[in-house]
Chains A and B, each alone.
Chain A
Amino acid sequence: MIDADVVVGDRREFESDDFMDAIDPVLPYGFRLAYGMLRNRDDAADVVQEATLNAWRHWRSFRTGADVRPWFLAIVANQCRQTVRQHWWSVVRKSDLVAQSSETGEAPSEEVDNLRRGLRKLSHADRLVLVLRYYLDLSFSDVAAMLHTSPAAARVRTHRALARLRPIIGSAEDLDDA
């Protein structure tokens, strides 16, 4: 008489399975964003883990039918900011030194090194919009969905962030996406 296709069991376990099924496909995006922001593999994995827990705690308020990716990436971005705040950034940590020394054997070109240092000096908001656009390859619509703004505003923010990056890296003509 009844064609049951979903088990109604313990409510929390039942919802957590659903939650993981929804979050699983966007975990790699979350990690890429966290790595783009922090440039540390362990920190990025920790951030994704913590962001997943935060997402679970707010899962019931997630609007059914909405896109999970921008929602989850926004949580990851917020977690990255928290992580940065928690660290005493004037101290160079041992793990950073190990990570930096274990990067590609070749020394980075001056251009890449400048860009890397420039990104590190940008504010969280500016770095976020550039990482979303140029490291995660998101469209302006997707960036807008994540930042809760319009695509036009996302485009403006991106260009302003690029403009702020130019003087830092001292290469005005190289950073223009027009």
Chain B
Amino acid sequence: MRESKLRTKFRDAIGEEPAPADLRMRTQAALKRELYGPRDRRLDWIPAVVAVLLGIALIASLLAIGAYRRAQAPTVSSPALSPALVYVQGQSAWQAVDWSGREHSSVGSDHVGVPYQSPDGSRLVWSAQGVWQIVDSRGGLLSSPDLSRSRGFTWADDSSGICVVEVINENPPNGGTYQLGFYSTAGEFRPIASLATQKGPNIAACSPTAGRVVITTASGYKDAPSEVRRITFGEIVIFDFKSGALLRRQTFAVGSPATEVNTVSVSHDGTVAALRTEAQTSIIRLLDGKVIARATGVTPLAFSWDNKLLVVEGSGNRGEVLQVLTGELLWRDSTSRVTQGAVADPRSSAVMLFVTSGGLNDLLVVSPDGSARVIATAVFPAQIAPCPDCTAF
């Protein structure tokens, strides 16, 4: 029997049944219920009971751990959950200020170097006399992660720990193999994935909440005519935070300065990224690389926490805030100040710009309504944002 006859027989046996007209509507409704509401299932009580039991077990564990910690390290205190804090160097300590400029606690200055704070300022990681420590907002020791093999680390966007790239084998400038892992603030290490790269890897975003870790690889070289050090990004790699599965790997063209990606800014949750070439800046959706928007003549600095605003450095190195939603310019610095960096407020849609007129930084907060105000002047801030090209080689 020929295939066509066989097909006819199968159609006769099974019958022709057109898909219900409301199939799409039904599946969409089911998806909405999945996204926004409880599902009506007879066995839904099972996860609820499991969650309650796990909750009880978790609370008991936390109580036990808390009692143990209090006994072992009385200086450890609970994190300041609200408002978000930014640390600036004071006379003898690092002073925390919130996003309205109000001063909070300070942390002793017996630590060496500039602290790297978590997005909400509830935790800091720094090196005290050569030993890396994670401390809370009052300086209480939480853990001492072993960062001796670390090539770079970035705070998790929920301040629960740091994502770390550890060196397995490295042969600069020819790349190497690395292990990506996560240190919780309690000091527990969990390997996530391993990767091999041709350029130096850095963690551009570490998001337990979105379940993603975004790695950028970059190399640096000195441009002979201008004596300027240039950065070239090689790729963006996205891993699943929990399973370590490779979600996406996007490689950029290298070899021509005109088309190379020279600046990358990634949103805290690894959803979107802004990539700058000489010609333009493209805002892309990371999971599929689709271009959302394009801009010219600007260098991306930071996305707001809700990804609706993008801080850029415009002409004359002056700060600008663009609305990704509408493509409009929300705010532009009308003074001659230079913008050196920016961070997002994890509690709102506001963004903070580090501006200078030649000396230390002023902290300038731009709200989603376009209003701007300086909350601190002539300060030296801690490291707050991830650094996608810090260890380029």
Contact = CB atoms under 8 A, between A and B. Distances in A.
A15 B26 CA distance: 18
A105 to B, nearest CB: 13
A44 B17 CA distance: 10
B293 A111 contact: no
Given A13-B35, A49-B30, A135 B288 contact: no
B62 interface: no
B327 interface: yes
Interface in B240-288: 240, 245, 247-248, 269, 271-272, 283, 285, 287-288
B23 A48 contact: yes
Contact of A31 (B20, B211, B240, B293): B20
B292 A6 contact: yes
B34 A41 contact: no
Interface in A120-135: 130-131, 134-135
A60 interface: yes
B1 A4 contact: no
B20 A2 contact: no
A5 B293 contact: yes
Given A39-B15, A61-B247, A115-B13, A177 B1 contact: yes
Contact of A49 (B27, B248, B285, B287): B27
B290 A45 contact: no
B71 interface: no
Interface in B1-45: 1-3, 6-7, 9-15, 17, 19-20, 23-24, 26-28, 30-31, 34-35
Contacts of A52: 27, 30-31
A7 B17 contact: no
Contact of A116 (B13, B24, B329): B13
B12 A108 contact: yes
A6 B10 contact: no
B138 to A, nearest CB: 34
Interface string A1-22: 1111111110111011001100
A111 B9 contact: yes
Chain A contact-residue range equals 35 or more
A11 B17 contact: no
Contacts of B23: 27-28, 31, 45, 48
A2 to B, nearest CB: 4
Given A8-B308, A39-B14, A48 B295 contact: no
Contacts of A176: 1
A58 B107 CA distance: 44
A32 B322 CA distance: 47
Contacts of B245: 61
Contacts of B285: 6
Given A35-B14, A48-B27, A1 B329 contact: yes
A53 interface: yes
A60 B30 CA distance: 18
Contacts of A24: 24
Interface centre among B11, B19, B288 (most CB of A within 10 A): B19
A8 B292 contact: yes
B324 A135 contact: no
Given A52-B30, A52-B31, A53-B30, A1 B295 contact: yes
A75 interface: no
B325 A134 contact: no
A65 B326 CA distance: 27
A135 B31 contact: no
A90 interface: no
A56 B20 contact: no
A68 interface: no
Interface string B174-190: 00000000000000000
A52 B25 CA distance: 12
A3 B327 contact: yes
Given A2-B327, A56-B34, A174-B1, A116 B14 contact: yes
B294 A53 contact: no
Given A7-B325, A112-B13, A137-B7, A27 B31 contact: no
Nearest 4 A-B pairs (CB), nearest first?
A2-B327, A31-B19, A4-B327, A115-B13
Interface of A: 1-9, 11-13, 15-16, 19-20, 23-24, 27-28, 31-32, 35-36, 39, 41, 44-45, 48-49, 52-53, 56, 60-61, 64-65, 103-104, 108-109, 111-113, 115-116, 119, 130-131, 134-135, 137, 174-177
27 contacts: A1-B295, A1-B322, A4-B324, A4-B325, A6-B285, A8-B271, A8-B308, A8-B324, A11-B271, A12-B35, A20-B31, A27-B24, A31-B17, A32-B19, A45-B20, A49-B26, A53-B30, A56-B31, A64-B248, A112-B13, A113-B13, A115-B10, A116-B13, A116-B14, A130-B10, A134-B3, A135-B14
